Amino acid sequence: MEKMKKNAEEEKREAMTRLLDILKQCKNEKDYNGNKKGVKLTFSNLKASSSGMSRKFNIHVITKKGELLNITYLISKVMGETFTSDGLMRVYGCGMDMLFNTCYELNCAIYRLKGHKKYNHDIAYHGFVDTSYNLL
C-alpha cells in the first residue's frame, strides 16, 4: 500500500513540474500595484451535473506566443481531481464559484507539493495562477 501511495505522489510531482514549465511560457497577470498575480487560466466546456453537486470543464492557458494549450490533465493530477473519459476535469461542490475555487486550490496544491509547511491567503491569491479567469 505504501508503494502505491508513493507512486501517486510521484505522479503528482511530475505533473506539477510539467505544469510549472508550461506556466513559465505564459504571461503573468499583474495587479494595479504591479505585483505578479500569476497566469490567467481559460475555462471551457462548462457542464454541471443534474444534481448540481459537481462541475466538469477544460482548462487552457495562452502562451506568450499566442498558443492555446490544454492543461486539464496536468491540473487534475496536481489537484487530485477526477479526469473524466471525455477529457474534462470534475470538481465537486456547489453554491460557490467553482472556477475561482479551482484557481485558488491549484495554487495551494502546488505550494503543498513544493514542500511549504505553512501558507497564507497571499500565497493562494498571488501564486502560480491568477484567481481571476477567462471563459472560452
The one-letter code for the residue type at 127 is: G
pLDDT in tens, 70-79: 999 999 999 9
Q: Angle 63-88-73 (CA atoms, 0-180°, nearest 5)?
A: 55
Here the cell at position 43 is 475555462
Q: Tally the domains of the chain.
A: 1
The larger pLDDT score, comparing residue 77 to residue 52, is at: 77
What pLDDT score was predicted for residue 37?
Answer: 83
- What is the residue whose three cell numbers read 498571488? 126
DSSP E strands, 18-107: 28-30, 36-48, 54-62, 68-70, 82-83, 89-92
What is the rounded distance in angstroms from the CA atom of residue 105 to the CA atom of residue 64?
A: 24
pTM above 0.85, yes or no: yes
What is the rounded distance in angstroms from the CA atom of residue 77 to the CA atom of residue 95?
A: 24
pLDDT in tens, 79-130: 999 999 999 999 998 878 999 999 999 998 998 888 876 666 666 677 899 9
* Range(s) of the domain holding residue 37: 2-135
